């Protein structure tokens, strides 16, 4: 695997943990984090400055979708690995 992919994998999982710590400390609610992630996703999808292929758009949205799934899993009390999330994102795309 490409080193950059490994770094992104670590960064995404670290962000998922940070999001949960933010919720646990009651700095933001899960809903507020979900809203922020949805806002980021919408901004990317509505960006008319760049014509992206479907594959490129899916690649850009991948980390957001993983973070959304991680939040959903945490809310349900489930634990998952990066690979679990990646498979689920693949099924959603």
pLDDT at 1: 61
Structural domain boundaries of the chain? Answer: 3-92
Nearest to 61 by CA among 41, 80, 83, 79: 41
If phi > 0 it is left, if psi is from -120 to 50 it is alpha, else beta; for residue 89 that is alpha
Token pair, residue 43, equals 């901004």
Q: How far is CA 63 from CA 4, 7, 9, 25, 27, in A?
A: 14, 12, 9, 23, 22
- Mean pLDDT, consecutive 10-residue stretches, the chain (93 aa), reads 84 96 97 97 85 87 95 92 91 79
pLDDT at 54: 85
Under 8 Å between Cβ of 51 and 31: no
Q: What is the DSSP letter of 92?
A: H
pLDDT at 26: 97
């Amino acid at each position: 695997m490409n080193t950059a992919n490994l770094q992104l994998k670590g960064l995404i999982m670290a962000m998922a943990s940070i999001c949960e710590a933010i919720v646990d400390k009651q700095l933001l609610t899960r809903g507020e984090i979900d809203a922020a992630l949805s806002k980021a996703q919408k901004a990317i999808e509505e960006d008319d400055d760049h014509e992206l292929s479907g594959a490129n758009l899916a690649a850009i949205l991948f980390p957001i979708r993983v973070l959304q799934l991680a939040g959903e899993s945490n809310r349900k009390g489930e634990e998952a690995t990066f690979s679990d999330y990646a498979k689920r994102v693949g099924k959603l795309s």
